[in-house]
Chain A
Amino acid sequence: MSRDGVGASVTRGGGYDRVTGRQRYVADIHLEDVLHVKLVTLDCARARIRSVDASAAWRVPGVRLVTTAEDLPRPMPRFGPQFEDRPVLAVGETKYHGEPVAAVAAETRDAAEEAARLVHVDYEELPAVVTLAAALDPAAPLVQDPALRPGDPFATTNVLREHRVAWGDVDATVADLVVEHVYAFPMVTHFAIEPHAFMAAPDGDGIAVWSTIQHPYWLQRILAKLLRMPLSKVRVLAPDPGGAFGGKQHTKYEPLVAFMALRAGRPVRLVLSLEETFQAARRASASVRVRTGFRADGAFAFQDVAADYLVGAYADIADRVVSKGSYPACGPYRVPAGRVVGRGILSHTPPSTAFRGFGNPQVNWAVESNIDEGARALGIDRLEIRLRNLARRGEAFIPFDTPADGDWEQTVRTAAARIGWGTPLPPGRGRGIAIGIKSGPTTGLSYATVRLLADGSVIVYAGTSDMGQGARTVFAQIAAQELGAPLEAVTVVMGDTAVVPYDAQTSASRSSVLMGTAIQRACGQVRDQLRGMAARLHGIDEAGIVVERGTVRLPDRELPVLDVLRRGLGRLGGELIGNGEMRKEEEPGHPLGGSAAFWEFNCTAIEAEVDEGTGDITLVRHVTVSDVGRALNPLQVRMQDEGAAIQGLGHTLMEHYIFDDHGRIRNLGAIDYRIPTSMDLPLELHSEIVENGDGPGPYGAKGMSEGALLCVAPAVAAAVRDATGAVIRELPLTPERVWRALHGEPDRP
Chain B
Amino acid sequence: MSDTIPIQLTVNGRQRSLRVAPHHTLLDVLRDDLDLTGAKECCLVGECGACTVIVDGRTVDSCLVLAVEVDGASVTTVEGLARDGSLSPLQQAFLDRGAAQCGYCIPGQLMSAHALLETNPHPSLDDVQEGLAGNLCRCAGYQQIVDAVLAAADGADR
Decide: B37 and A21 in contact? CB cutoff 8 A.
yes
B21-60 at interface with A (beta carbon < 8 Å): 21, 23, 31-32, 35-45, 47-48, 50
Query: Chain A 91-118, CB within 8 Å of chain B: the 1/0 string?
Result: 0000000000000000001100000000
**Given A19-B106, A468-B102: A643 in contact with B139 (beta carbons within 8 A):** yes
Decide: B140 and A646 in contact? CB cutoff 8 A.
yes
Decide: A639 and B140 in contact? CB cutoff 8 A.
yes
Decide: A678 and B142 in contact? CB cutoff 8 A.
yes
Which 4 pairs between the two chains have the least Cβ-Cβ distance?
Answer: A21-B38, A242-B104, A468-B102, A18-B103
The answer for the CA separation of A30 and B33 in the assembled complex, in Å, is: 11
Closest partner residue, chain B, to A273 (CB atom): B44
**Given A21-B79, A194-B102, A679-B133: A11 in contact with B41 (beta carbons within 8 A):** no
Contacts of B79 in A (CB 8 A): 20-22
Query: Chain A 527-559, CB within 8 Å of chain B: the 1/0 string?
Result: 000000000000000000000000000000000
The answer for the CA separation of A274 and B106 in the assembled complex, in Å, is: 18
Decide: A193 and B107 in contact? CB cutoff 8 A.
no
Decide: B133 and A27 in contact? CB cutoff 8 A.
no
The total of chain B residues at the interface (CB under 8 A) is 57
Closest partner residue, chain A, to B77 (CB atom): A21
**Given A274-B44, A681-B142: A20 in contact with B87 (beta carbons within 8 A):** yes
- From A16, A27, A193, A244, contact of B137 by CB (8 A): A193
Decide: B95 and A11 in contact? CB cutoff 8 A.
yes
Closest partner residue, chain A, to B78 (CB atom): A21
Decide: A670 and B95 in contact? CB cutoff 8 A.
no
Contacts of A243 in B (CB 8 A): 101-102, 104, 138-139
Decide: A635 and B98 in contact? CB cutoff 8 A.
yes
B82 interfacial contact with A, CB 8 Å: yes
B110 interfacial contact with A, CB 8 Å: yes
Greatest chain A CB density within 10 A among B104, B107, B136 is at B104
Decide: A469 and B101 in contact? CB cutoff 8 A.
yes
B153 interfacial contact with A, CB 8 Å: no
**Given A24-B37, A671-B47: A642 in contact with B140 (beta carbons within 8 A):** yes
Decide: B138 and A193 in contact? CB cutoff 8 A.
yes
Decide: B40 and A242 in contact? CB cutoff 8 A.
yes
The answer for the CA separation of A27 and B45 in the assembled complex, in Å, is: 18
Decide: B48 and A193 in contact? CB cutoff 8 A.
yes
Query: Chain A 27-39, CB within 8 Å of chain B: the 1/0 string?
Result: 1101000000000
Decide: A643 and B141 in contact? CB cutoff 8 A.
yes
**Given A242-B103, A273-B44, A467-B102: A681 in contact with B95 (beta carbons within 8 A):** no
Minimum CB–CB distance from A152 to chain B (whole Å) comes to 36
Contacts of A285 in B (CB 8 A): none
Closest partner residue, chain A, to B35 (CB atom): A30
The answer for the CA separation of A193 and B140 in the assembled complex, in Å, is: 12
A418 interfacial contact with B, CB 8 Å: no
B130 interfacial contact with A, CB 8 Å: yes
Decide: A28 and B37 in contact? CB cutoff 8 A.
yes
Listed A/B pairs (17) with beta-carbon separation below 8 Å: A12-B95, A15-B100, A15-B103, A21-B36, A21-B107, A25-B104, A30-B35, A190-B138, A194-B40, A243-B101, A243-B139, A639-B144, A642-B143, A643-B141, A670-B136, A671-B47, A677-B133
Minimum CB–CB distance from B116 to chain A (whole Å) comes to 12
B124-146 at interface with A (beta carbon < 8 Å): 128-130, 132-146
Decide: A678 and B40 in contact? CB cutoff 8 A.
no
Decide: A193 and B21 in contact? CB cutoff 8 A.
no
> Number of contact residues on A: which range applies?
35 or more
B91 interfacial contact with A, CB 8 Å: yes
Decide: A14 and B91 in contact? CB cutoff 8 A.
no
Decide: B103 and A639 in contact? CB cutoff 8 A.
no
**Given A27-B41, A670-B43, A675-B136: A18 in contact with B106 (beta carbons within 8 A):** yes
B65-115 at interface with A (beta carbon < 8 Å): 77-79, 81-82, 87, 91, 94-96, 98-107, 110
Closest partner residue, chain B, to A243 (CB atom): B102
**Given A678-B133, A678-B146, A681-B141: A670 in contact with B48 (beta carbons within 8 A):** yes
Query: Chain A 255-273, CB within 8 Å of chain B: the 1/0 string?
Result: 0000000000000000101
A63 interfacial contact with B, CB 8 Å: no
Greatest chain B CB density within 10 A among A21, A109, A243, A274 is at A21
- From B39, B77, B102, B145, contact of A240 by CB (8 A): B102
Closest partner residue, chain A, to B91 (CB atom): A19
A362 interfacial contact with B, CB 8 Å: no
Contacts of A22 in B (CB 8 A): 38, 79
A192 interfacial contact with B, CB 8 Å: yes
A191 interfacial contact with B, CB 8 Å: yes
Decide: B82 and A677 in contact? CB cutoff 8 A.
no
A636 interfacial contact with B, CB 8 Å: yes
Decide: B101 and A193 in contact? CB cutoff 8 A.
no
Contacts of A240 in B (CB 8 A): 102-103
Seed contacts A677-B142, A679-B129, A679-B130; 12 additional CB < 8 Å A-B pairs: A11-B98, A15-B98, A19-B103, A20-B78, A20-B91, A194-B102, A194-B104, A241-B102, A271-B41, A470-B101, A670-B45, A671-B43
Contacts of B48 in A (CB 8 A): 193, 274, 670
Decide: B103 and A468 in contact? CB cutoff 8 A.
yes
A214-264 at interface with B (beta carbon < 8 Å): 240-245
Minimum CB–CB distance from B92 to chain A (whole Å) comes to 8
Greatest chain B CB density within 10 A among A22, A191, A242, A645 is at A242
A156 interfacial contact with B, CB 8 Å: no
Decide: A245 and B138 in contact? CB cutoff 8 A.
yes
Query: Chain A 172-193, CB within 8 Å of chain B: the 1/0 string?
Result: 0000000000000000001111
Closest partner residue, chain B, to A473 (CB atom): B98
Closest partner residue, chain B, to A681 (CB atom): B142
Greatest chain B CB density within 10 A among A273, A646, A670 is at A670
Minimum CB–CB distance from A127 to chain B (whole Å) comes to 31
A9 interfacial contact with B, CB 8 Å: yes
Minimum CB–CB distance from B144 to chain A (whole Å) comes to 6
The answer for the CA separation of A502 and B91 in the assembled complex, in Å, is: 35
A669 interfacial contact with B, CB 8 Å: yes
Decide: A639 and B42 in contact? CB cutoff 8 A.
no
Closest partner residue, chain B, to A645 (CB atom): B141
Minimum CB–CB distance from A679 to chain B (whole Å) comes to 5
Contacts of B99 in A (CB 8 A): 19
Decide: A11 and B137 in contact? CB cutoff 8 A.
no
A23 interfacial contact with B, CB 8 Å: yes
Minimum CB–CB distance from B80 to chain A (whole Å) comes to 9
Decide: B95 and A192 in contact? CB cutoff 8 A.
no
Contacts of A24 in B (CB 8 A): 37
The answer for the CA separation of A596 and B147 in the assembled complex, in Å, is: 37
Closest partner residue, chain B, to A27 (CB atom): B41
A81 interfacial contact with B, CB 8 Å: no
A459 interfacial contact with B, CB 8 Å: no
A454 interfacial contact with B, CB 8 Å: no
